[in-house]
Amino acid sequence: MVLATYRALVRQIRDIPCRFNILNGPAGAVPSSGHQEVNNHMQVANIFLRQVGLRLVLDTDVTVTDGAVASAIPGIFRISVGAGVTRNVTGNYPGSNRLNYRPDVLNIAYIHSDFIGGGWVGFGMASDFSANNLPGDRVEDSGTPSTSWIRPCGIPPDATAGTVRMRVFRGNQRRTGHPQLYALYVTNASGNPTTQAGILTYGGTIAHEVGHILTLRHRIGAGNDTLSRPLGTNLMHGTNPSTLAQDLDIVQARAVLGCPLVRAPAAAPAPAAAPAAPAAAPAGPAPAAPGP
């Protein structure tokens, strides 16, 4: 009797180097998070991203620009800015996301707030990233059971599973003059950055926006990836909270490898040389002749 059937995509974890910039404006325009909270949020984001074999790692390069000051945690910086750079930020390519960036290192800005209009509250936004470079119009996955159990899933009484085809971002989305910028921001809308609920929301928001950087579209909603399942629990759902939208599936795990920001896994260290054999002991004196 078959009690369960599953399928996994197994590979080495790949690292995404990143740096965080906390953009502090004047009173009333300051992000709620400090460097320790930011680090905690990144750890939660990594729990989500592990499903597709990825991990955010803090940038070890100490180079700074735009007046950035290093915090007590390497890779997390503070920048003093005008109110308009961190509060009620608007536009597809906000200046906040470009500050203190290094080429081909994911740049994550913590800002006070953005302004979307229409009653929407923005938790975060991915602004600059490259097109997916995998071949073909869509990313495909075949196997039983199908990715996210999209029907037919291949498990009786369903028919044989078909090929799942998912749409990703194929065009570069990036401001002029910065061809190696990968950037997103998160806002205070995620709540108290020190509570369990707030940490989950910040972590989920970062992971969701990193998904866009990795060329993943929303699952359901305008401009979606064309897949209809799961209905509300995929991390890339456009509006559901992080308490519900948490999953990433196999076809998404295949798709993220098309993002140029994803590094190849580090080469395994060469095996240590075998220790040299001990030198032979020097010959001792010849034994004495036996007595009469």
169-200: per-residue pLDDT in tens? 998 999 999 999 999 999 999 999 999 999 99
Report strand pairing: 164-166 vs 139-141.
antiparallel
Mean pLDDT of 129-141: 92
What are the two backbone dihedrals, phi and then psi, of residue 50, each rounded to the nearest 5 degrees?
-60, -25
CA angle 127, 130, 131 (to 5 degrees): 120
- Distance between CA atoms of 180 and 15, rounded to whole angstroms? 17
Helices (H) and strands (E) in the chain, counts: 4, 9
Could you tell me the pTM of the whole model?
0.89
- Distance between CA atoms of 23 and 48, rounded to whole angstroms? 25
- Distance between CA atoms of 114 and 47, rounded to whole angstroms? 26
**Residue 269: partners with Cβ closer than 8 Å, 6 or more residues away:** none
pLDDT band at 202 (very low <50, low <70, confident <90, very high): very high
Question: What amino acid is encoded at 287 in this protein?
Answer: P
Which domains does the chain carry?
Answer: 14-133+168-258 (3.40.390.10)
